[in-house]
Structure 1
Amino acid sequence: MRSVWRTVPTVTILPTDAERKLALRRMKTLATSLLVVAAVVFAVSFALQDRYPWLGFVRAAAEGAMVGALADWFAVTALFRYPLGLRIPHTAIIPNRKDEIGATLGAFVETNFLSDEVVAGKLGTIDLAGAAADWLAEPGNARRVVAESFHGVTGLAGLVDDERMREAMEAVVRRHVVAPLWGTPLGRLGERVLSSGGHREAVDLLLDRLDEWLAANPEAFGAVVSRRLPSWLPSFVDRAIDDRLHAEARRLVRSVRDDPDHRLRRSLDEYLAQLADRLQHDPATIERLEAAKGRAFDDPRIRELAASTWQAARAAALDALADEDGELRRRAEAFVVDVARRIRADDELRASLNARLTGAALHLVTSYRSDIAHVITETVQSWDPSETTEKIETQVGRDLQFIRINGTVVGALAGLAIYSMATGVSALF
């Protein structure tokens, strides 16, 4: 798979606007200097050509150079402004046709850069998942990603208003938890649990805890039984009654726990089965459940508990996110590195991820291609004409100055060639 893909190309560092403007001024100075040199040479050779006939060739070359330089100066200048301030037709093309240029540029980008074929073809040759995995496999890079992610989450959490969040959570809970009827779902769930016998483990656990509590708290029976007996009974009788009741209670609990077919267990099963049925079909039972549910969720104490729970969870989460040496960050960094290494080592997984990334990019391009082009069009159209001229000239003006330089050189050669041919023809005749 790696033989087909190539890595992500290195980004070329482009010069800044200030550097481009400096280069543009230098090229303008060079092109203008050549015109001045040609003019000086023309003036000197024109003045001395009668004394030195060979200077006629120099004069012709200088004359052609001046013509070529002036013609190309006019052509280049006419793109950006009026030459010498004269409103000559078809000059100052860019500021006068700014809106049309913006629309054309937007359409050009949409057609030639954001088409499905171009995007799919470009992404199909780049191993995006592999490049990301190679970068994230380095612990330092993974640490940076986790740190930036945690900073972002912490910043978002800091913007959240606790009261609004509590209200939002309460609204979600009321809509999706409180508002729906509970009776039928709970009844069906109870039927499934009873039919599978899953409740027996809960009953066994409850009986175990009850037996442990009875063993650890034998004096609890005194408050229930012996203290209610007549005061004239001897104390040993009270203790005997307490001990007897305590032993019988433990014996009953153990017998129920050890006998899966105990009559109390069967009674409990029958009661639970009837309750599950009534929750589904008995309107009175369903209404009582809904009333109890409403009272519970409307209780101010429950709302205060929910608010305090949210604040405590939020504080704990922020503390964990902010701790640069905490366990949460270390685990997150290790997780990122592990995932990156798995992607790098698994060709099929990497191919699947690249396919998904390409599909996501195509979806975004298809959905927002016109919007992106429209943004380009609107941006160019919103520019001030002079601003547009300055931006475009800064970007391409330096290269356009070569037209002036080439025009000067070509004009000089053309002038020399024409003068030479004219002189040769006149010599023949």
Structure 2
Amino acid sequence: MATSAPASYTFGGEPLTADRARRMRWTATGLLGAMAVMFFTTHGLVGTHPAWGYVNAFAEAAMVGGLADWFAVTALFRHPLGIPIPHTAIIPENKDRIADTMAQFLRENFLTPAVVARRMAGMNIAKAVGEFLTAPPLPVQDGDGPSRLTGGVSELLAEVLESLDPDRLGNQVRAGLGNQFAKIDVSPLLGRMLEGAIADGRHMPLMDGFIRWAGLTLEDNEDAIRDIIESRANAVMRWTGLDERISTSVLDGLYKLLAEVLVDPEHPIRSKIEEGLEKLASDLQHDPKTRERVEAMKRDLIENPAVAEWWMGVWERIRQSLIRRARDPENALGEEMRKLLKEMGGALQQDQRLQLQVNRLARRTMVGVATRYGGQIVQLVSETVRRWDAVTITGRIESAVGRDLQFIRINGTIVGGLVGMTLHFIVGWM
């Protein structure tokens, strides 16, 4: 029986090839030929000794059994001796029906939601994924699983960031962040933060900084303040020079006041400022008008075109930085991803609740895939087999199971011979 080009298969670590099937076919054919030679050789010796009768009966029945099995095996793949006998060349003649039958068998026994759910119920996919992610990396030339996964994720991230419209993606990210920020009631949050800062004394450095800033501002604008005071004075005061002395006294008083407030933690003005901050913290949390003003400021900030323009610049820098880091093998991004994947793998291995959730999600996903796309999958199988020509499908099936079929021929030859010898024994004693 001719076969297609040798193709390798692997089962249990042992390579199964078309060459081995061919060698087994020649073995079965050689055994059949040996039985034929034995039959014709011993046919003239039957009457000389009873043992030759048994040998001849064995050879005759073995030859018949071997020929019958040869015909049966050959009829699966082609016409025996090229003669178009009905119901031979079964696989080539019925490949379309075989394709439909295979697809239907796959659909009914593997891709039904109940079967998928039952099969996946006993699988701990989360733990298996965790073990893969935490496995020590192999040398790159041997197939570095985690490292290659990290490289693939990095390259995929870079490709996604490059392929998508940066402006559209940036606007989508900004809109998403804006929507989330709009849902946050920032006024009570600010009030609690301010209240906590006052309680812990964290507002004191801020107050000192404000006082220093007020002093520096006063110093930088001293001439302008003098002009304002002197412009308010009347002509008599300007004629007597009192306006200058008044402005100097006012400035000196302000400098002295700021210095006293800065060095005296118990200064009354500090107490007044703290009271004002405490009231502001309370109003941010409880006063509806204050909260509404803060929310209005937040909405104005979100809708401000200047903020949108600022964000687009920030987003573009982030995008370009991520692309460079993903493409740079010496960058820390790969190491960060490896650490992240390893931590994720450890959590999948140790956290029973996380395993339950992941396994449940995987099971529901596969059941959904089987429900929605099961028909398309089996249609793909059916159409693929239908597109194979008769030589291809015959060669592939014969290369896969041909060796086992030749064992059928060998067994048929031996069993037939034993049956023939047994019948010869029974007939001889009747």
TM-score, normalised on structure 1? 0.68
Deviation at 1:402, TM superposition (A): 0.8
For 1:262 and 1:225, locate their aligned partners in 2 and report how far apart those are by CA, in whole Å: 28
SS at match of 1:259: helix
The answer on 1:309 being equivalent to 2:314 is: yes
**Could you tell me the percent identity over the aligned residues?**
23
Checking the alignment, whether the CA contact within 8 Å between 1:42 and 1:62 is kept in structure 2 is yes
AA aligned to 1:415 is G
Checking the alignment, whether the CA contact within 8 Å between 2:112 and 2:370 is kept in structure 1 is no
Checking the alignment, whether the CA contact within 8 Å between 2:158 and 2:322 is kept in structure 1 is no
Judge which range, 333-342 or 358-367, deviates more: 333-342
Counterpart selection for 2:82 from 85, 99, 117: 85
Q: Match of 1:65?
A: 62
Structure 1 residues without counterparts, runs of 5 or longer = 1-10
Q: Match of 1:75?
A: 72
For 2:286 and 2:60, locate their aligned partners in 1 and report how far apart those are by CA, in whole Å: 114
Q: Match of 1:209?
A: 209
The answer on 1:41 being equivalent to 2:53 is: no
Checking the alignment, whether the CA contact within 8 Å between 2:46 and 2:56 is kept in structure 1 is no
Checking the alignment, whether the CA contact within 8 Å between 1:107 and 1:373 is kept in structure 2 is no
For 1:262 and 1:422, locate their aligned partners in 2 and report how far apart those are by CA, in whole Å: 123
Q: Match of 1:259?
A: 271
AA aligned to 1:308 is G
Checking the alignment, whether the CA contact within 8 Å between 1:380 and 1:388 is kept in structure 2 is no
Checking the alignment, whether the CA contact within 8 Å between 1:81 and 1:91 is kept in structure 2 is yes
Q: Match of 1:190?
A: 187
Q: 1:68 to 1:403 in 2, by over 3 A?
A: same
The answer on 1:393 being equivalent to 2:395 is: no
The answer on 1:32 being equivalent to 2:29 is: yes
Checking the alignment, whether the CA contact within 8 Å between 2:190 and 2:284 is kept in structure 1 is no
Superposed CA deviations along residues 338-397 of structure 1, whole A, max 9, x for unmatched, are 6766776x6xx4x44554454334323432335457524531442125233332222222
Deviation at 1:26, TM superposition (A): 1.2
AA aligned to 2:88 is T
Q: 1:138 to 1:91 in 2, by over 3 A?
A: closer
For 2:145 and 2:223, locate their aligned partners in 1 and report how far apart those are by CA, in whole Å: 63
Deviation at 1:163, TM superposition (A): 6.8
For 2:101 and 2:405, locate their aligned partners in 1 and report how far apart those are by CA, in whole Å: 21
Q: Match of 2:222?
A: 222
Q: Match of 1:8?
A: none
Checking the alignment, whether the CA contact within 8 Å between 1:65 and 1:409 is kept in structure 2 is yes
Deviation at 1:262, TM superposition (A): 7.5
Counterpart selection for 2:415 from 407, 410, 413: 410
For 1:192 and 1:354, locate their aligned partners in 2 and report how far apart those are by CA, in whole Å: 35
Q: Match of 1:100?
A: 101
The aligned length equals 392
Deviation at 1:333, TM superposition (A): 5.1
Checking the alignment, whether the CA contact within 8 Å between 2:80 and 2:88 is kept in structure 1 is yes
For 2:126 and 2:11, locate their aligned partners in 1 and report how far apart those are by CA, in whole Å: 18
Superposed CA deviations along residues 109-147 of structure 1, whole A, max 9, x for unmatched, are 347993534442x43xx7963x66666556547x96664
SS at match of 2:110: helix
Judge which range, 401-410 or 308-317, deviates more: 308-317
Deviation at 1:211, TM superposition (A): 1.4
Q: Match of 1:177?
A: 178
SS at match of 1:43: helix
For 2:88 and 2:113, locate their aligned partners in 1 and report how far apart those are by CA, in whole Å: 29
Q: Match of 2:158?
A: 158
Judge which range, 361-370 or 400-409, deviates more: 361-370
Deviation at 1:88, TM superposition (A): 3.3
SS at match of 1:91: coil
TM-score, normalised on structure 2? 0.68
Q: 1:399 to 1:256 in 2, by over 3 A?
A: farther
SS at match of 1:90: coil
Deviation at 1:24, TM superposition (A): 1.0
For 2:164 and 2:186, locate their aligned partners in 1 and report how far apart those are by CA, in whole Å: 35
Q: 1:423 to 1:261 in 2, by over 3 A?
A: closer
For 1:209 and 1:326, locate their aligned partners in 2 and report how far apart those are by CA, in whole Å: 40
Q: 1:312 to 1:172 in 2, by over 3 A?
A: closer
AA aligned to 2:319 is R
Superposed CA deviations along residues 213-236 of structure 1, whole A, max 9, x for unmatched, are 245566412353357779x989x9
Q: 1:14 to 1:203 in 2, by over 3 A?
A: same
Checking the alignment, whether the CA contact within 8 Å between 1:63 and 1:415 is kept in structure 2 is yes
Deviation at 1:409, TM superposition (A): 0.8
The answer on 1:363 being equivalent to 2:364 is: yes
Q: 1:227 to 1:412 in 2, by over 3 A?
A: same
Checking the alignment, whether the CA contact within 8 Å between 2:190 and 2:281 is kept in structure 1 is no
Q: Match of 2:289?
A: 277
Checking the alignment, whether the CA contact within 8 Å between 1:102 and 1:376 is kept in structure 2 is yes
How large is the Cα RMSD of the aligned pairs?
5.0
Superposed CA deviations along residues 154-185 of structure 1, whole A, max 9, x for unmatched, are 212322237713312314534773799x7xx7
AA aligned to 2:213 is W
SS at match of 1:417: helix
AA aligned to 1:258 is R
Structure 2 residues without counterparts, runs of 5 or longer = 1-9, 232-238
Q: Match of 2:234?
A: none
Checking the alignment, whether the CA contact within 8 Å between 1:61 and 1:416 is kept in structure 2 is yes
Deviation at 1:256, TM superposition (A): 7.5
